[in-house]
Amino acid sequence: MPGRMTARAKGSADDSVATNARPATHSADQRAGTHPDAPAGEYAALLRALPYPAALIHQRANMIEILAQNEEFSQFFEEVEGAQPAIERRANRQFDWRERAEAMFQSHRPSDRFEMEFQGQLGTRVYGCSLSWVEGNGISESLLLLAATDRTSERKAESTLRKELLTDSLTSLPNRTGFVEQMEFQLDSPKGDVQRSHYAVIALDLVRFSRINESLGAMAGDELIITVARRVKSVLRAGDILARIGGNEFAIFSHVGHGLSEVLQIAERIRKVFESPIRLSTYLISVEVAVGCALGQETEGDAENLLRQAQAAVKRAKRSGALEVYRAHVLREALKRFTVENRLREAIETGTLELAFQPLINLQDESVKGFEALARWNDPVLGQVSPTEFIPVAEESGLIVPLGRWALCECTQTLANWDRRHGEQLPITMNVNLSPVQMVRDNVPRAVEEALRYSGIDGKRLTIELTESALISDPDKTRQLLAALQAMHVTVAMDDFGTGFSNLASLQALPIDVLKIDRSFVKDMIGDKDKVALIRAIISLAGALGMKTTAEGIEEKAMAAQLADLGCHFGQGYFFAKPLTSAEAYDYWVARNRETRI
């Protein structure tokens, strides 16, 4: 054990730290681990009682001296002196404890705590060190007690836990948090040659993955995910980072020196690797992958923001079926839709949505046949939001179910209020649209039954409008729904007829009461023989199947007159009236009813 060690303080001539060992002849005090100027055994006995490395440090003439130390500190010192700092240690860790001691003597801080991380013979070692003041006896200046606690096991446990938190347990790939952290390390690395215009995040989404889980079970889904990860990884280059960022979502961070052209090459390799189906048990599964990307040169955001942009692009790719590249407006649209969704949820909960009512006119006698209820939303933050904007958001988010139920209850209750105001039942009906998404997710017959029961309205006065695509998407389920509505005497209208792909067999098989001729046929029909011929054919078809017809988008008197001549039963459009408030709609019926009686 060295009896005395000295180190040059900062600011010395050569600005270095030197350690001098005394000759082999030691005094009794030195053999006890104390400096000869210290009271013999006073500190040595105390230090020997400590179970961890500890030493008393003194500064004299700008020199750091070890006055006393225990055997554990001697071993610790020898290990530190023969080691090198860990390459990837944190920036705030100081390898040389003597520098911290010098700073303490100069600043006179109450205490100091720090970690030392270095490469020992058994690997990386981590010690938690502390410096605190001890009043010296017989020495002109105070002493510092340096204590070191081995934290290596704790740090290894923390490292293992952190790795688990950053890794996807199924594929052993980085998860979303680990992926973002690796991206940030790559982008912040001073040694990296990646410039902001030379990298990309490529997002992958397995299309229709939920069907596999539903059909074959979660274990088959897990096996598919593992196989997909292996296939994608097999076509990536060295340096590319693949991560699983969601249930069926993957992401790739890649250096792309040639920009978009290189991204296209990566996307093509991924597409080719899935040309052959994946075998799961006895099944061969064809996997379709949607690909979207965000380029570093396209954004100034951080890693997390770049990943969100790639996900916004892949969302568009699922609809288009092609590789989509992020553009600034895409994320703005996504953020706007998110805001609309949150505001719409609040509007439904607080009941701040409204219904407008557009008249349906009997084209033969110009009386009011009924009204179509249309949702309207004037938000205090977003202002007037068009149904073409908030209805798709409601369908995507699942809010269409409470929104559709609210519309059903509100329109039937409005009709009941009009009856009470008039003093007797009005000879009119109420039309309300039913979303295809609500058809799938909601118990529509129960919702209709509850709306009729609570309002006291007979089913004959309610018409449910369904789009052509919704009616033919699942014929068996549609037939059951329409039969349930028919049992409640509710009228069913096929909306936007002529824009879908329905055939005569489906029209004949389904209990549909009304065909609504799409406005695209009615617009500019005057003088257009082809449009007139199409409308005449639709009206004849409806008549042959025992259905009535309603024409949408009537904007001129000549349109209404010609449609009436063709045999169309009902019409609606701005020529008759724009959508009205509840009070305006009631007054409109009163005025129109008075006119038709005269």
Q: What is the pLDDT of residues 74-104, one digit of tens each?
A: 888 877 776 655 544 443 344 578 888 888 8
* Three-point CA angle 20, 41, 50, nearest 5°: 85
Contacts 24+ apart (CB under 8 A), 151-158: 151/115, 151/126, 151/127, 152/124, 152/125, 152/126, 152/127, 154/126, 155/124, 155/126
Q: Which of 279, 297, 326 is where one domain is finished?
A: 326
**Single-letter amino acid, residue 367:** S
Q: How far apart are CA 174 and CA 242, in angstroms?
A: 7
The verdict on 262 and 196 lying in the same domain is yes
Shared domain for 237 and 383, answered yes or no, is: no
What mean pLDDT do residues 547-553 have? 93
Instruction: For residue range 100-130, list pLDDT tens digits in order.
Output: 888 888 888 888 998 888 877 677 888 889 9
Q: For residue 299, which amino acid is it?
A: T
pLDDT digits (tens, 9 = 90+) for 276-327: 888 887 888 888 899 998 887 544 557 888 898 888 889 888 888 888 888 7
pLDDT bracket for residue 499 (50, 70, 90): low
474, part of any domain: yes
Residue 338 counted as domain residue? no
Residue 18: pLDDT over 60 = no
For residue 16, the domain's CATH number is 3.30.450.20
Q: What is the CATH number of the domain that holds 490?
A: 3.20.20.450
The reply to whether 228 falls in a domain is: yes
Residue 19 has pLDDT above 60, yes or no: no
Token look-up 């003194």 returns 58
Is 556 or 336 the better-scoring residue by pLDDT? 556
Tens of pLDDT, residues 361-414: 999 889 999 999 999 999 998 999 999 999 999 998 899 999 999 999 999 999
Spatial contact of 465 and 495, defined as CB atoms under 8 Å apart: yes
| Cβ atoms of 556 and 573 closer than 8 Å | no
68 within domain boundaries:
yes
154 plus 213 within the same structural domain: no
- Whether 414 and 300 map to the same domain: the answer is no
Determine what percent of the chain is predicted with pLDDT higher than 70.
Answer: 83
Domain that holds residue 288: 166-326
- Most confidently predicted of 20-24, 72-76, 231-235, 331-335: 231-235
Residue 91: per-residue pLDDT: 39
CATH of the domain at 176: 3.30.70.270
Residue of 87 and 532 predicted with greater confidence: 532
Say if CB 569 and CB 550 are below 8 A apart.
yes
Residue 29 pLDDT greater than 90, yes or no: no
Q: Are 458 and 351 found together in one domain?
A: yes
Top-confidence residue, 347 or 4: 347
At 225-264, the pLDDT tens digits run 999 999 999 999 888 999 999 889 999 998 887 777 788 8
Task: Check residue 498 and give its pLDDT.
Answer: 67
In a domain, 227, yes or no: yes
Encoding tokens for residue 358?
Answer: 């557009």
User: 363 and 448: one domain?
Assistant: yes
Instruction: Let me know if residue 339 belongs to a domain.
Output: no
Based on the domain organization, do 215 and 252 belong to the same domain? yes
Residue 471 has pLDDT above 80, yes or no: no
- What is the pLDDT of the chain when averaged over all its residues? 82
What is the predicted pLDDT for the residue at 485? 93
184 shares a domain with 79: no
Q: Is 60 a member of any domain?
A: yes
310 lies in the same domain as 448: no
What is the pLDDT at residue 338?
A: 85
Q: Let me know whether 217 and 362 are in one domain.
A: no
Average pLDDT of span 479-493: 92
Give pTM, 2 decimals: 0.56
> Domain boundary at 295, 326, 357, which?
326
User: 158, 192, 212 — which closes off a domain?
Assistant: 158
Identify whether residues 420 and 521 lie together within a single domain: yes
pLDDT of 136: 53
Residues 233 and 93 in one domain: no
* Number of domains the chain contains: 3
